[in-house]
Structure 1
């Protein structure tokens, strides 16, 4: 069982403001929407996103505007072409986006901005994937060995890259043989033994699988957490959690169709 990352979910306090930010500055378009009595989910992505590309899910809980960011959730990262980081960062600045960490402060290799809710958005240089498409999602983990073991044993992901410094390490995990355009999960491990607060502004990662019930059975055999099984989710999706409590959704899509089409 090895599925590509389908989307990453974040909660927002003002849906229209967030939609305007992502559609204006990252040129995203609405791919799908689910309206319930108490919440709205909107799925976004570039117009020309790859079949294996991941979407951004914005969740708006009706009447809720304040969320705790916590520090167990890190950021999403979006792509711009190699050598054009400065130009696209300046474009965002000209459009009035918050100046958080400019390219110079990041050694010219990447940069960061924030969306209206304070979610960090990293800008990375890649030669694959559509402009502004999701490259990876970063989460912080308390034990690198446990985290790497979780993604390799439970989801059959492979170790696709690492960055090690004096104080921390980043490990990138992705499905075996996934296209370069697929999103990765970045596991950040700080060597000082700190613990993290989950908060509620960050929601979950979602993995697309071929067969929901078969994938769920595999996870149970591999001793994954039984958080929300398919039956409790109307057999549309299911949830497990990793060793640090990050939620991971499993969902099944037919022929690449969105779960909740417009």
Structure 2
């Protein structure tokens, strides 16, 4: 499998409000949309996305106006040029985004804002990638060794960076041959043994695979949890879970297809 992170999905309570927020503040555009029975899915991203760049998937369920942002879900991080952290944050403030964690409070290394549903968005300085493109998705794990082993054995991911402090550690993972514009996965582990709640506002990570059935069989050989196999998903996608219960979708992506959805 190529193993590139294709998208990260979050649930939103008011789709139109969220679409306007991401279009206005991150200059995202709607890439594709699927209207299902009682739900809507929208793929979003910057205008000029890298071929290995990750989408943001917004999902809205009818009647899903009350969403719980659990603490097992961390944030997405978006890129801005190295010298534009403060000006980019100021731009968001001018747009009416709430002041959450400004650059100064973060040592001028990064900053944070929140979207209308309380999803945290980190702003990181990068000298590559389209402005506001997704740099990484962070999730929290309760056992670092187990989580790292899962991503290495199941998906052939490699450790591309880490920060180990007195009370926590951050591990960055991605496929060995991924481009720098691809989205990374950040695992955050706190040493105090705390447990986390998933909530329903966080949806899943999605991995782009070469062959859905073949890669699924490979995952089963590697003893990944069989959550929703390809057959149960009409052979369009499949889902497994990591040791902390985070859902992971597998999908084939045809770059020449008219739609981003395999329907």
**Does the TM-score normalized on the shorter chain lie above 0.5?**
yes
8 Å CA contact 1:53–1:181 kept in 2: the answer is yes
Q: How many residues align?
A: 262
Contact 2:2 2:210 in 1 (8 A): no
Please give the alpha-carbon distance, in whole angstroms, between the structure 1 residues aligned to 2:254 and 2:241: 24
Alpha carbons 1:69, 1:199 under 8 Å: kept? yes
Aligned to 1:119: 119
Matched with 1:203 is 203
Q: Is the 8 A contact 2:236 2:262 kept in 1?
A: no
C-alpha distance in 2 between matches for 1:214 and 1:104: 48
Deviation at 1:138, TM superposition (A): 0.2
Q: How does 1:1-262 map to 2 (within 5 A)?
A: 1-255=1-255, 257=257, 258-260=259-261
The answer as to whether partners of 1:2 and 1:157 remain within 8 angstroms in 2 is no
CA distance in 1, matches of 2:189, 2:151: 15
Q: Distance in 1 between matches of 2:85 and 2:58?
A: 25
Deviation at residue 62 of structure 1 after TM alignment: 1.2
- Which structure 1 residue ranges, 5 or more long, are not aligned? none
CA distance in 1, matches of 2:51, 2:188: 27
Alignment RMSD (CA, Å) = 1.2
Give the distance between the partners of 1:199 and 1:142, measured in 2 at CA: 16
1:260 positional shift: 2.2
TM superposition shift of 1:211 = 0.3
Q: Tell me the CA shift for residue 3 of structure 1.
A: 1.4
CA–CA separation in structure 2 for the residues paired with 1:230 and 1:261: 12
| 1:217–1:22 CA distance, 2 compared to 1 (3 A) | same
Cα shift at 1:261: 8.4
How far the C-alpha of 1:63 sits from its partner, in A, is 2.2
Q: Deviations over 1:41-89 (max 9, x none)?
A: 0000000010000000000001221111110000000000012100100
CA contact (8 A) 1:138 1:185 kept: yes
User: Partners in 2 of 1:120 and 1:146 — Cα distance?
Assistant: 25
CA contact (8 A) 1:3 1:208 kept: yes
Q: Distance in 2 between matches of 1:173 and 1:238?
A: 21
Q: Is there any run of 5+ residues in structure 2 with no aligned partner, and where? A: none
**8 Å contact 2:79–2:132 — kept in the other structure?**
yes
In the TM superposition, structure 1's runs of 4+ consecutive aligned residues that sit over 6 Å from their partners are: none
2:35 and 2:255 map into 1 onto residues whose CA distance is 23
CA contact (8 A) 1:209 1:250 kept: yes
- Following superposition, the deviation at residue 255 of structure 1 comes to 2.7
